[in-house]
Amino acid sequence: MRSTSPPQLPIIILISLLFGALGFSYSFLGLLDYHQVIRPLEVFRILTVQEIGGHFVFGFLVGLPSKNLSIALLTGLMALTIDADHFLNIAGIHIQGRIDHSIPFAISSAVIIGIAAMCISNTKILQSNRNKTILSLGYKSKHNEDNNKSNSIFENNIFLQFLLITVAAFLSHIAYDVFVDDNARFPLFAPFSFTQYLIPQIFALPIELVGMLIIYAYYTHLKQHSYQPL
């Protein structure tokens, strides 16, 4: 399993925070629901070690089939930051919780994260090309060699890769919510419908498995037939 090199850590954190920001922003769509029954969230119930650790572990596990520690760390952190939507409810804003635990959010956020990853990668490519130019002029250094090797998180079709990573992280979060709550309900089609749908606890591990299979399928098969830009 490949390890996370230092230059990649800021990228992992940036993408994770972006995912959380998308979830936070998406939750404002809950204002469109005028008939919801609000269930106030308890801050310390949400921020327990079990809740934080559980979501991270489920997210980390879903990324392991990539055989890349960077990807596993990314999916673990993304599975955590999606809960940024809870801060609206904690702040007293009357919005139904888990608005961003919906299928429309999973699709839209996956597309946005894919585009963002492409933009970040293009920036790193430009930096890498600049370093190669410096090397060609004879200014070789260990720092420049490390920079040229720091793109391993960006493999093959970047848009498809991060789109699938986002979907897998989303599924892992849902899986943990269902795993610890035998009455877990989600507005699966918000903001088009705010109806809460119960997902039985028995489906927790199958949902997690689907996320793992998505990562496995990409990193063992799909990436071999994808265009590699780096």
In a domain, 128, yes or no: yes
Residue 116 included in any domain: yes
What pLDDT is attached to residue 122?
A: 84
For residue 105, what pLDDT is reported?
97
**56 is a domain residue:** yes
pLDDT at 3: 42
Structurally, how many domains does the chain consist of?
1
pLDDT of residue 197: 94
Query: pTM above 0.75?
Result: yes
Whether residue 81 is contained in a domain is answered as yes
- Enclosing domain of residue 11: 6-225
**Structural domain contains residue 16:** yes
Give a yes or no: residue 41 inside a domain.
yes
Residue-level pLDDT at 128: 59
Identify whether 83 is part of a domain.
yes
Per-residue pLDDT of the chain (230 residues; tens, 9 = 90+): 544 344 589 999 999 999 999 999 998 888 887 665 555 544 445 567 788 899 999 999 999 999 999 999 999 999 999 988 777 766 667 677 788 999 999 999 999 999 999 998 888 666 655 555 544 555 444 444 444 444 457 766 899 999 999 999 999 999 999 999 999 999 999 999 989 999 999 999 999 999 999 999 999 986 665 544 32
Is residue 230 in some structural domain?
Answer: no
The residues with which 185 forms a beta bridge, in sequence order, are 198
Residue 144 contacts by C-beta under 8 Å, 6 or more apart in sequence? 131, 134, 135
